[in-house]
Amino acid sequence: MAKAKPLTLSEEERSKLETIARTRTLQAQVVLRARILLLKSDGYSVDAIAEKVDLNRNSVLLCLKKFRAGGIENAIFDALGRGRNAEITDEEKSWIINIACQKPVDLGYSAETWTYSKLTKHINETAESAGYIRLSTITKTSIKNILDAAEIKPFRIQYYCENRDSEFEAKMHQVLLVYKQIELLFDENGELYIPAGEQDVHTVSYDEKPGIQAIATTSPDLKPNKENGTIKRDYEYKRLGTISLLAAIDLLTGEAIPLVRNTHNSDDFIDFLKLLDEHYAAGDTIQIILDNHSVHTSKKVKQFLSTMPGRFVFVFTPKHGSWLNMIEGFFGKMTRQMLKGIRVSSKQELVDRIYQYFDEVNETPVVYHWKYRMDEF
């Protein structure tokens, strides 16, 4: 009896099939199909193959037919996402998720985050060497479904603020204690028990607002009219530079104290301290709530403070705790009321209008009261 005609395999195909046949992490049916192809390439008949792999003749014929139609992947793997036998194992899903949770740059790519196309390509190319050869043909849709089910979004970055200040709670407590002490100075009607002018400790909330842009229009704004109820402005604009605002609000009176500069370095901060020194009566204590920026603790600043012992007391907010500083609320209000959409003809006009805004605020000053966690004191 003539020997059956063997199946012709390339060296690469045979090596791949032998690897699959030895693999213990693949489904049994995949391993059996690989053995069918190997046995056929060795010249075994369909009936002999069926006996060796313990399958019926039709299963062997179907495997060979699919190989001739589409190669190894078509013959031994079911199309992922189709049919009962196409179920991806938990181990395969875990491997996909593990890859998705790594940055592409850590795997040799230039990108920081995955796209589904890039992730699918990487999985297809590395699945065989990782022992998950069936995943070398998995589709982008199947990968997306796996990641969606696991609520993994490797293409999206969500920012958070890491607590790098080991003394966060202690520093926050100190700031809140100052706010509580100030609160106790007011009666139930919001009036000071001791008039502000008779206080010997003045507490201010201080910060800088750098990078305020002076922007000029290139064409005049068009005023609202019957046909158009909004201000119309040309899209083009001209940058004239930036300025920095150093400011404090008095927590007893609501008075806002500004200083506008081109920079916000140690010299500028010292000039602001001198401004406060001139503003308050000699001999009184000026308590300042501020962040722990290097400008506020520089050698220059320390040398200046040493010339005025007892005049200034700094209460530092914790790192990433700027929200504890009440002037942040003032800056937000200023942005909404005055800086939003502002256009000027020069940097000096911007400076003048900022000072004008502070004059307007101080005509009817608003005292800021802190509420968060006050019941703990």
Residues 46, 187, single domain; the answer is no
Q: What percent of the chain has pLDDT over 70?
A: 92
Residues 224, 350, single domain; the answer is yes
Residues 209, 99, single domain; the answer is no
Give the Å distances, CA to CA, from 83 to 78, 88, 135.
8, 11, 16
Query: Roughly what angle, to the nearest 10 degrees, separates helices 299-306 and 266-279?
Result: 30
pLDDT tens string 230-263:
888 888 889 999 999 999 999 999 999 999 999 9
Report if residue 295 sits inside a domain. Answer: yes
Report if residue 91 sits inside a domain. Answer: yes
pLDDT tens string 305-334:
999 999 999 999 988 888 889 999 999 999
Residues 69, 108, single domain; the answer is no
Q: List the one residue out of 101, 206, 79 whose CA is nearest residue 156.
A: 101
The number of folded domains in the chain is 3
Residues 19, 130, single domain; the answer is no
Could you tell me the pTM of the whole model? Answer: 0.61
Residues 119, 222, single domain; the answer is no
Domain that holds residue 141: 85-149
Q: What is the CATH number of the domain that holds 181?
A: 3.30.420.10
Sign of CA pseudo-dihedral 97, 102, 105, 110: positive
Residues 64, 136, single domain; the answer is no
